[in-house]
Structure 1
Amino acid sequence: MARVLYLEDERDIGEWVLKDLTSRGHDVKWLTSGEGMDAHLSETDIVILDVMLPGLDGFSLGRRIKKDYQELPIIMLSARTSVEDKIEGLDFADDYVTKPFHPDELAARLEVLLRRFQKQDEVLELQHLLIYLKDGIVIDRESEMEIPLTGKQYHLFQFFIKHINQILTKEQLYEGVWGERYIEGDKTLMVHIRYLREKIEKNPASPTIIQTIRGIGYRVKA
């Protein structure tokens, strides 16, 4: 099962694709425009993106997604069949499907991309850690022991990994992990980062995995 973010403003096509992909076991979030898209990206495995949308078009939205989520696969959908349009789409997207299309074709292309990206990202090596992303397991390579993380600790660490090499503000982290607006002075995030460092860092007093970026926030650097 994949978590699919689907952007399509044509109701008939949207309902048809939603029904088909859901029947195949996928969890589909359907939006009719890019409004509200950012709130779902951190919990998405693949994006299906129509070109013609109200407001920002699919090309603009796709480039924005890839800028922040380089490892998130994108399938473009479009009635445009010109070579120029396909080249523009494939400049950032991972596949380009022209309308009309058969649901089996879209489902097959989705599965191919998921396998490709999951294979690339199945195990992440990060300093002395091996992170099995699909299973949510963190291993210390030196001791060969699993590092037990609570659900919230792993969710926090996973959010860092999905935004690896990016500097994240406290607001971005809190809203991304807790799903609530960050209130200045709240110590919840700081406490969870401290406990997470105690488990994954060789020296929690001088962390090298979760780096503090003074005056801004935090970063996990590959």
Structure 2
Amino acid sequence: MINVLYIEDEPQIAQWLTTELAQHYMVYSYPSYEVYEQSGDQFIPDVAVLDIMLPGLDGFSIARKLKRTYDELPIILLSARAMLDDKLEGLSIADDYVTKPFQPAEIMARIEVLLRRFNKMDEVLTLHHISINTKDFEVRNQENGEEIMLTQTQTNLLRYFTNHLNQILTKEQLYEAVWQEPYMDGDKTLMVHIRYLREKIEKNPSAPLIIETIRGIGYRVRA
């Protein structure tokens, strides 16, 4: 399980984002660095999400301290400051800078990018009853241990989904990424291949749990 260190002093924002992130990660949330230090919680963070305006040490200072302790720790700074100078200062210390307001899906997407960049992603990804070895992209049914054989197109589709976990992907995005050509409105190619892929990886393709349909938009795979 990925450990997320989250420091935010605004209770409503902290609760809102913690609730969303906790669906996918182990989240350790604190209102300040001082509370985090005094908590005595024993964990090694895989990623840190820090508000900049905090009581006591600000996010910039916390990021510097964390980088000295964990030199391979990816850090995302959150701030209402949208000025270029603030962003440049933040990015000189941390690995990403997100201005408020934001949506949880954006933060999760940025976390996933950083986890991949810092090689912190698990080699085996579990999605309901299937497991995916992300190195060689071997897909197995965990209930019987059997390998699920996919075509190259199905592999490319599933790989794109796993590279964009928790993100809602449009039909256009998926088609153009996998087929490397512009999507034509009304083309059923993607829908057909999604159906074939579901027949191989879903327990019940008629009620899919892995590849969700987002009506009117496209699809999503949740971690």
What is the TM-score with the length of structure 1 in the denominator? 0.51
Separation (CA, whole Å) in 1 of partners of 2:63 and 2:86: 14
Equivalenced residue count is: 121
Identity %: 54
Q: Which residue of 2 aligns with 1:101?
A: 102
1:8 alignment partner AA:
E
Separation (CA, whole Å) in 2 of partners of 1:26 and 1:119: 13
- Deviations along 1:31-82, one digit per CA (max 9) or x if unpaired, are 0000143455851100000001001111111111112211001000000000
The secondary structure found in structure 1 opposite 2:119 is: helix
Deviation for aligned residue 1:121: 11
1:10-29 to 2 correspondences below 5 Å? 10-23=10-23, 25-29=24-28
The secondary structure found in structure 1 opposite 2:34 is: coil
- Residue 5 of structure 2 corresponds to residue 5 of structure 1: yes
Question: Residues 58 and 40 from structure 1, CA distance in 2 versus in 1: closer, same or farther, beyond 3 angstroms?
Answer: farther
The secondary structure found in structure 1 opposite 2:78 is: strand
Q: Which residue of 2 aligns with 1:64?
A: 65
**Structure 2: which 5+ residue stretches go unaligned?**
124-223
Q: Which residue of 2 aligns with 1:51?
A: 52
1:33 alignment partner AA:
S
Separation (CA, whole Å) in 2 of partners of 1:16 and 1:119: 25
Separation (CA, whole Å) in 2 of partners of 1:101 and 1:120: 24
Contact 2:76 2:94 in 1 (8 A): yes
1:35 alignment partner AA:
E
What is the TM-score with the length of structure 2 in the denominator? 0.51
Separation (CA, whole Å) in 2 of partners of 1:10 and 1:72: 24
The secondary structure found in structure 2 opposite 1:35 is: helix
1:51-200 to 2 correspondences below 5 Å? 51-118=52-119
Contact 1:75 1:97 in 2 (8 A): yes
Separation (CA, whole Å) in 1 of partners of 2:94 and 2:82: 15
Q: Which residue of 2 aligns with 1:30?
A: 29
Q: Which residue of 1 aligns with 2:176?
A: none
- Deviations along 1:124-153, one digit per CA (max 9) or x if unpaired, are xxxxxxxxxxxxxxxxxxxxxxxxxxxxxx
Contact 1:5 1:40 in 2 (8 A): no
Question: Residues 40 and 46 from structure 1, CA distance in 2 versus in 1: closer, same or farther, beyond 3 angstroms?
Answer: farther
Could you say what the CA RMSD is over the residues aligned between the two structures, in angstroms? 2.1
2:3 alignment partner AA:
R
The secondary structure found in structure 2 opposite 1:118 is: coil
Q: Which residue of 1 aligns with 2:140?
A: none
- Deviations along 1:165-220, one digit per CA (max 9) or x if unpaired, are xxxxxxxxxxxxxxxxxxxxxxxxxxxxxxxxxxxxxxxxxxxxxxxxxxxxxxxx
